[in-house]
Amino acid sequence: MKHTSTWPARMPAVSKVVGRNARRREGPEKLCGVAKYVDDYALPGCLFGATLRSTIACGRIRSVTLDPAFPWHEYVVATADDIPGANYVALIENDQPLLAKDRVRHLMEPILLVAHPVRAKAYAALAHVRVAYEEEAPLLDPEQSKTVFKSFHIERGAIERALADADVVVEGEYHLPHQEQAYIETNGAAAWFEKDGTLVALGSLQCPHYVVKALKAAFGLPEEKLRVVQAVTGGGFGGKEEYPNVICAHAGLLARKASRPVKIIYDRHEDMAATTKRHPAVIRFRSGATRDGRLVAQDVEILMDGGAYVTLSPVVLSRGTLHATGPYDCPNVRIRSRVVMTHTPPNGAFRGFGAPQTLFAAEMQMERLALKLGMDPLAIRRKNAVQAGSTLPMGQTLRESVGARQALEACVERSAYTRRARECARWNRSSKRPSWRGIGLALVHHGAGFTGSGELYLGSRAAVTLTRDGELRVLSGSTEFGQGTTTLFSQIVAETLCVPLELVTVETPDTARVPNSGPTVASRTCMMVGRLLREAALELKAAVTAGKARFPATQPTLKTAARRLCGEAEARRFEAVYRKPDWVSWDDKSYTGDAYEAYSYGAMAIELEIDKATFETAIRGVWIAADIGTVIHPLFAEGQVIGGATQGLGYALLESTVYEGGVMKNARFTDYTIPTTLDTPRMDVVFVPSPYSLGPFGAKGVGELPMDFPAPAVAAAVRHAIGRFVDALPITPERIARALAKDAAA
Amino acid sequence: MRVTFTVNGKRRSHAGTGMKRLLDVLREDLSLPGTKEGCGEGECGACTVLLDGEAVVSCLIPVAQVSGRRVATVESLGRPDRLNPLQEAFLAEGAAQCGICTPGMLMTASAYLRRGGRADDDAIRRELAGNLCRCTGYQHIVRAVQQATRGGAARRTRARRRV
């Protein structure tokens, strides 16, 4: 198998499914309420599990006592002592206990599990367990933390001299909060043991093979005795990337002890208070430019709060670090970053994965530079935006598929940015107006796939099989949780084989049946796994057509061909394995090289209005342009962009996590506000594809990009409206009031 | 206590505590898992059903309150091989992504269509304001409901309903 560097210029004549809005493959089941999410499975004899959690942020566990008057014989109880393997959640570092035994390091940390046939009774039992602690003072301020989980230092050019020589230098300090993924289906899993001793976990999850790894460590079972199946999953956004490891293992522990299936479904409060969030960050930034607006120096210091355990913090920090200077050319760069421990529930994956934090800071620096130079924010971006041939801080020279400028221009044109900017300024000149108006721009990039050598380590696999009965089946570990994975994969395979979409089915991600395609994260599913599927399909095609006939495009002819191909076998399977493109080079030690094969680019313009009496913000218009390469499914891509941008607008304006004593106090939908229909503006979305030669049909990634641009665009618009920078999110009326008051006081 | 009511046109009864949530009665006792729980406190709308034609959140309704009344759940709409026009519109417009808010969204939209709601974007947004969706940013959902208000979709939805 080898990478073809260009796709056939002429698209296949028969199917023509790429670029069209195919019906969502699993849509009808979801629309009729028959799609089965984990809590919809009625498992015979099933018990319900509940988790006893730490009520202190830091300290020693002196004792755990079960109330002797309570009818424990009705219950199954599991503690750390019931773990047959190792007591840790296997991920990057194995520092997080599955169940705390001697010490707790954050509030809500799991200590003990109970199960009962009646769900409410399982929860009620928790009140009858007493935990005695020796409490210690928790460390809650990341600035004070000496425990560094990971740090990076990237340097290019001569930063100090460049700052000294720059015509203008601006400084900023940015504070980014926790953000809750707020998938509408809470985390949950079920587990049971088969007669042959196989542990099966069924869950709401993004990464079934991650769970296999975690179960392997916790249960000491070989992989062939572990099976992880994805139930229909009600949203993830990163929040079901690593946390399901914990829940699946907990359910497995109880199931092992009970010899019955056990289901654990978190309620909303538990899910919000105990599971991962977006990493809070403090970013200190100095930027220098020449008088005519050319960027000459970018000096960034990033501090992220990892919470109590490492989880995915090193890779979140990595992505944040690598995106920290935005999609701009700059010869002198220094990025120093670290993620540290605090006694709070671990932070983890959330759409964007570190980049929304750092790109916010990078874009606000562009605003500050523009202001200081007396330049239009559009002009400074036009002057510095990357193009083919530009070099990023880690030394990656962009070879192709660089649509930053096209995205910026399309966004500016569709929003009539220049006219609106003038109109806002005119509106604000009159003090009689009841509001201030502003328009803001943001331009971002987002790398698709794992960082650096990550894809090589993953060694992802994906396969297409043809059964004797003529069924084409996609086998991959990539999961569907709303993005459209199933439909997209069908399209890519159908297009490659020139068959109607209906002839292709996609296997449920079940680790007993599908190869490990790597995790469903990092905007990698379409570009990375889609590419593997195209390669596998091309092999299948070659085997069927044997260089002569056209690939059969109807069910009967496919069946005939399948009989011929399979002979006596049930099916023939064609598997593709990730191979690093020759030109990609990355050095983990120096952290230099080609960090990502390709980047997607996005620009947003947003016009808003701030009430002078209440400081409430109302959005007047949103325009988005994105280069995600070839658009495989325009409707789904638009859905990703609008949905992601809505989460970004929540991050920018609404979503306030209140932490007290080391835990989220407003852990419910009543108090943690995510955007409703009335908070969400209509959005104008346009795609400006710069196809990537190694993406399937030229596609790149789309999932995370739209999370990156709303916050800086909003903050830029707020600055334009009120003439003050608000450098902390979310930009609530209170923050706007403070920004105005601070200025009045000064 | 014993509570009798109709669900999707069928007479049903519940014996036991009248304080059991309608949501749990539907999901656990009547094997109708199409209605979803998102928050358990009436904020997200995932558990929306129709009670005598009005959209309500079934997590806040004790079953005693539905005595003698008609409940309709997502299972009363079309089937996967025969979607109703509203569901068709959701499919065509990409209004369902992860699908967990979809049953509730469909029931709220159904109530809107039954009342003869119009294709007005703002009116639809006001109607759906109690149903949270974290995937779509709502635009495709609003578009689907708009599409369903046209072409007699509302009329056909009514005709197909058995309650």
pLDDT (tens digit, 9 = 90+) per residue, A162-216? 999 999 999 999 999 999 999 999 999 999 999 999 999 999 999 999 999 999 9
Domain end point (choices A544, A577, A610): A577
Q: Residue A30 is nearest to which of B38, B73, B102, comparing CB atoms?
A: B102
Is the domain of A649 the same as that of A694? yes
Q: Is A192 touching B (CB cutoff 8 A)?
A: no
Q: What is the pLDDT of residue A742?
A: 80
* Burial class of residue A562 in the structure, from the number of CB atoms within 10 Å of its CB (0-12 exposed, 13-18 middle, 19+ buried): buried
> Distance, in angstroms, between A265 CA and closest chain B CA?
11
Cβ partners under 8 Å of residue A194, min gap 6: A200
CATH code of the domain containing A73: 3.90.1170.50
For residue range A119-141, list pLDDT tens digits in order.
999 999 999 999 999 999 999 99
For residue range A311-358, list pLDDT tens digits in order.
999 999 999 999 999 999 999 999 999 999 999 999 999 999 999 999
Q: What is the pLDDT of residue B151?
A: 66
Among A606, A653, A677, A684, the strongest candidate for a mutation testing the B interface, having the largest count of B CBs within 10 A, is A677
Mean of the per-residue pLDDT values for chain A? Answer: 96
Assigned domain for A27 exists: no
Element (H, E) at A646: helix A634-649
Q: What is the pLDDT of residue B162?
A: 41
CB contact under 8 Å between A636 and B31, yes or no, is no
Among A48, A184, A670, the strongest candidate for a mutation testing the B interface, having the largest count of B CBs within 10 A, is A184
Assigned domain for A251 exists: yes
pLDDT of A6 higher than 60: no
Assigned domain for A104 exists: yes
Domain end point (choices A269, A289, A307): A269
Q: What is the pLDDT of residue A12?
A: 42
Q: What is the mean pLDDT of residues B122-150?
A: 97
Assigned domain for A738 exists: yes
B132: chain A residues, CB-CB within 8 Å? 184, 669, 674, 676
CATH code of the domain containing A678: 3.30.365.10
CB contact under 8 Å between B33 and A36, yes or no, is yes
The band of A15, judged by pLDDT with boundaries at 50, 70 and 90, is: very low
Is the domain of A402 the same as that of A256? no
Q: What is the pLDDT of residue A571?
A: 96
Strand order in the sheet with A103-104: A103-104, A59-66, A129-135
Q: What is the pLDDT of residue A549?
A: 74
The band of A745, judged by pLDDT with boundaries at 50, 70 and 90, is: low
Assigned domain for A98 exists: yes
Domain end point (choices A245, A269, A293): A269
pLDDT of A607 higher than 50: yes
The band of A546, judged by pLDDT with boundaries at 50, 70 and 90, is: confident
Chain A segment 215-234 residues within 8 A of B by beta carbon are 232-234
> Distance, in angstroms, between A179 CA and closest chain B CA?
13
In chain B, pLDDT over 90 holds for what percent of residues? 91
CB contact under 8 Å between A677 and B125, yes or no, is yes
Q: Is A31 touching B (CB cutoff 8 A)?
A: yes
A643: chain B residues, CB-CB within 8 Å? 97, 134-137
Is the domain of A442 the same as that of A465? no
SS3 content of chain B, % helix, strand, coil (to 5): 40, 15, 40
CB contact under 8 Å between A647 and B136, yes or no, is no
Q: Is A437 helix (H, G, I), strand (E, B) or coil?
A: strand
Element (H, E) at B56: strand B54-57
> Distance, in angstroms, between B38 CA and closest chain A CA?
5
Assigned domain for A586 exists: no
Is the domain of A265 the same as that of A412? no
B91: chain A residues, CB-CB within 8 Å? 23-24, 27-28, 31
CB contact under 8 Å between A28 and B87, yes or no, is yes
- On whether the CB atoms of residues A713 and A441 are closer than 8 A, the answer is yes
Q: Residue B132 is nearest to which of A232, A482, A674, comparing CB atoms?
A: A674
> Distance, in angstroms, between B69 CA and closest chain A CA?
22
In chain A, pLDDT over 70 holds for what percent of residues? 97
Reference A261, options A513, A50, A42; nearest CA is A42
Chain B segment 19-58 residues within 8 A of A by beta carbon are 27, 31-41, 43-44, 46
The whole model's pTM is what?
Answer: 0.96
For residue range A688-698, list pLDDT tens digits in order.
999 999 999 99
Domain encompassing residue A573: 460-577
Is the domain of A414 the same as that of A563? no
Q: Determine phi and psi for A233, rounding to 5 degrees.
A: -115, 125
Is the domain of A708 the same as that of A636? yes
Element (H, E) at B117: none
How many other β-carbons are positioned within 10 Å of the β-carbon of residue A637?
A: 25
Q: Is A677 touching B (CB cutoff 8 A)?
A: yes
DSSP code per residue over A549-591: SPPP-SHHHHHHHHHHHHTTSSEEEEEEE----TT--EETTTT
Domain total for chain A? 3
> Distance, in angstroms, between A21 CA and closest chain B CA?
8
Is the domain of A486 the same as that of A545? yes
Q: Which residue of B has its CA nearest to A685?
A: B139
Is the domain of A526 the same as that of A630? no
Is the domain of A661 the same as that of A736? yes
Assigned domain for A387 exists: no
Helices (H) and strands (E) in chain A, counts: 19, 27
Is the domain of A548 the same as that of A645? no
Assigned domain for A351 exists: no
Is the domain of A602 the same as that of A700? yes
Amino acid at A590: S
Longest pairwise C-alpha distance within chain A: 85
pLDDT of A8 higher than 60: no
CB contact under 8 Å between A32 and B78, yes or no, is yes
Q: What is the mean pLDDT of residues A559-582?
A: 95
For residue range A75-118, list pLDDT tens digits in order.
999 999 999 999 999 999 999 999 999 999 999 999 999 999 99
CB contact under 8 Å between B96 and A24, yes or no, is yes
Q: Is A274 helix (H, G, I), strand (E, B) or coil?
A: helix
Which residue is it, tokens 């519940």?
Answer: B14
Is the domain of A67 the same as that of A197? yes
Q: Check residue A593 and give left, alpha or beta (phi > 0: left; psi -120 to 50: alpha).
A: left
Among B21, B26, B28, B97, the strongest candidate for a mutation testing the A interface, having the largest count of A CBs within 10 A, is B97
